[in-house]
Every structure is written in C-alpha cells, then in structure tokens.
Amino acid sequence: MTAPGDASLEPPLEAFSVGRRLTAEALGTALLLAIVIGSGIMGERLAGGNQAIALLGNTLATGAGLVVLITIFGPISGAHFNPAVTLAFALRRELPARLALAYVAAQLTGAMLGVFAAHAMFAEPILQVSAKFRDGPAQAWSEFVATFGLLATILGTLRFRPQATPMAVGLYITAAYWFTASTSFANPAVTLARSFSDTFAGIAPASAPAFIAGQILGALAAVAAFGWLLRGPRGPAASPPT
C-alpha cells in the first residue's frame, strides 16, 4: 500500500501502464480474499469447534499474506487492494479520480474472483450467500477504528519509513483481528466479497452496509487527522525543542 509516485520506489508507479496497475490491484485483491476465505475454511475444519484456534489460523495467514502481497505489488500499483485506501489517496490528490474509480472496480472484481477461487480449492459451492450476521453499533464502530488505524499505519510509514509499510500493515491487521469486535475487515471490497461466502470468514449481506459505512468514515477521519499530524518536514522526526 504505497503512495502513487512515492520517490522511494524504484521504478516509480508511473513507469507501469494503467492496465498493468489495474491488473496488479485485481490480482492482489483476489489473492488476499483467497487467503482470508481459504484460511478461514481450513482453520474451522482443523480447529475441532474451537473458534479461537480457527480465528488464530485465519489471523496469521492474513497478516503474513499481506506482507507478501504488498511487497510484490506495491511497486506496480501501490498495492491498495482496498477502496478505503484508494479513497484516501484520491482525497490527498495523490491519485487521479478516474484512476481511483478504476482501482475500485479492479479491487471489487478481484475480491469476488478470490472468494470463488477459495471455494473451489476447498470443494465448496462456488456461489454462496453468507448467513453470518455481524450487527450492532459496536461492530460498525469497530470497523471505524480498524480502518482509521489501517490508514494511520499506511500514511505514517509512507511518510517516514516507506520500506516498512508491508510489514507494518501485516502486523497491524494481525493485531486488529483480535482487538476489534468485528475482527477488522477494514476494507469495503473485502466486506462485499465476504458476504458471498457462507464460511468462517463470511458476513451476511444485511450486515455489510454498516461495516462499509464505518470503514469509509474511518478512512475520512484518518485522512483529516493525519493530513494535519504529518504536515511538516519529511524524514526522521525532528528533535524536540530544547
């Protein structure tokens, strides 16, 4: 999840055609959903009814997978894999609006393909609708917090330690799976796609709108907060005044 045109990247994102950048977003998001859904199915099957063990397996696979996917696709597209992240960069004027819309379309398409791929790997019905309700204001608030923290991680590391972004994002999501009541979806494309999987990682379609609202509001709040907080010189934090 690197910033478009970030000077630390070699080569810069502009060196890749729009088609390649969109393919990277679709493929990366598809692999992310395959990891999330597939590890959830595997964890539930092996956990013998222990939901904590199943969630732990789901968590570790997702966090580790994110590190790898961001490392691979970051130099090509920025490795957003997330409409909330794309929205943040568009609002910061680091991504043109038309390209941002194309990113979101690629992410949504890739997310659905990733769900279908996971179902096929585990001999599940390809087309499903989740019956797992995740309702209530606490769940929506959890998604606000999870997405705010995700954007804080991305914007902060990109500003001062861009090379640490893949690891930081993977570690944050690993933690957020456990400290949020919603298990940190933090991604509208992931939320929509998971509503089409009646497996461990699924979410009922009726529950998705509140999650997505929390995610968008969390992203907007992070853009506002860190637009102010990170304004100033780039590089290591300045020494405190004496």
By 3-state DSSP, what share of the chain in percent is helix, strand and coil, each rounded to 5? 70, 0, 30
**In contact, 2 and 162? CB cutoff 8 Å:** yes
Phi, psi dihedral angles at 148 (to 5 degrees): -60, -45
232: left (phi over 0), alpha (psi -120 to 50) or beta: left
CA–CA distance, 123 with 145 (Å, rounded to integer): 35
Domains and CATH numbers, the chain: 13-229 (1.20.1080.10)
* Non-local CB neighbours of 154 within 8 Å, separated by 6+ positions: 1, 85, 88, 165, 168, 169
Q: Is the dihedral of CA 68, 99, 91, 36 positive or negative?
A: negative
**In contact, 194 and 37? CB cutoff 8 Å:** yes
Please identify which residue in the block is written with the tokens 């990366």. Answer: 28
Other beta carbons less than 10 A from residue 109's beta carbon: 17
**In contact, 67 and 173? CB cutoff 8 Å:** no
Please identify which residue in the block is written with the tokens 């680091």. Answer: 94
**In contact, 22 and 164? CB cutoff 8 Å:** no
Q: Which of 147, 148, 223, 149 is nearest to 189 (CA)?
A: 147
The pLDDT score that the predictor gives to residue 6 is 44
pTM for the full model? Answer: 0.91
Residue type, 224: A
CA–CA distance, 130 with 193 (Å, rounded to integer): 10
Question: In tens digits, what is the pLDDT along the chain, a chain of 242 residues?
Answer: 554 444 444 467 778 899 999 999 999 999 999 999 999 999 999 999 999 999 999 999 999 999 999 999 999 999 999 999 999 999 999 999 999 999 999 999 999 999 999 999 999 999 999 999 999 999 999 999 999 999 999 999 999 999 999 999 999 999 999 999 999 999 999 999 999 999 999 999 999 999 999 999 999 999 999 999 998 765 544 444 43
